[in-house]
Amino acid sequence: MPQRSGSGPRSALQAWPEIRERLRANRRWAVFLDFDGTLVKLQSRPDDVSVPLGVKRVLQRLARNANVLVAIVSGRRLQNLRGLVGVESVRYFGLHGGEQEGETASVSPESALALEDAKQAAHRDLGAMPGIWIEDKGLAFSVHHRDANASESKSAGAALAGLLAPWEKSLHVLHGSRVWEVLPKEIPGKGAAVEQILSGFPADTAVMYAGDDGTDEPAFAVLESQVTIRVGATRNTRTRARYCLPGPPYVMRFLERMERELR
């Protein structure tokens, strides 16, 4: 069930004993992780992010177990994500599941045309607004407003909604952490991606998913009986996650505990 405003999910570290029992009861694990804000600290610009060696080592130790899937599901491009993390045994899903190794989402000609027209309009109408910048991701684009104040963000959000109105049947918006992600309807988001990935897994697979913003909520929703963790401040935040962690360093502590269970 979604959390009520003013309340929040339980700490995943404090709830570790019950989570550990769930994991121990299953031979197969699937570990899904968002990237920015979950594995690494959010930065104003995506290019400023680097992945600490300790993070890579924890992921590598987890993923080398034959009974554990470790997947990173991010809004970043697949190539960028893989280059930053660089752990071969991890599976990477970019553009909220729209890109994976050897496969890219199929987009209709109508959606492709709508996306290109919307990109041009966004650069024209939003690119010069204070605190706003546009990131082209090929099959998607992002409107970042991390550098904008509350008033500027509100104005940009209204302008984006108006701008996209002609293409509402072809495009949709995912709300991230101070970013709006504009994608074709053929790329529905992380919830659908996780369902597809798990479709070939045994029903008794233990699943853990950690993410830090609204783009992760659809995944929390489809995994409501599993170990779902909202990362970052959760006070007055509505979330479908069962548990929470304050930030990336605590996610690492949690993953280290998981890894120790495999030894």
pTM: 0.94
Final residue in a domain of this structure, among 184, 199, 228: 184
Predicted local distance difference test score (pLDDT) of residue 2: 45
Compute the distance between CA of residue 89 and CA of residue 91 in angstroms, rounded to an integer: 7
Strands 171-175 and 99-100: unpaired
pLDDT in tens, 63-108: 999 999 999 999 999 999 999 999 999 999 999 999 999 899 999 9
Query: Does 99 share its domain with 220?
Result: yes
Question: Residue 73: which residues within 8 A CB-CB, separation 6 or more?
Answer: 32, 33, 34, 93, 96, 97, 190, 193, 194, 211, 219
**Which domain does 144 fall in, by range?**
109-184
Query: Which of 184, 206, 231 marks a domain boundary?
Result: 184
DSSP assigned state of 36: B
Total domains in the fold of the chain: 2
- For residue 171, pLDDT over 80 is answered with yes
Whether 53 and 87 map to the same domain: the answer is yes
| 22-46 residue pLDDT tens | 999 999 999 999 999 999 999 988 9
Helix pair 109-125, 150-164: axis angle to 10 deg: 140
Q: What is the pLDDT of residue 203?
A: 87
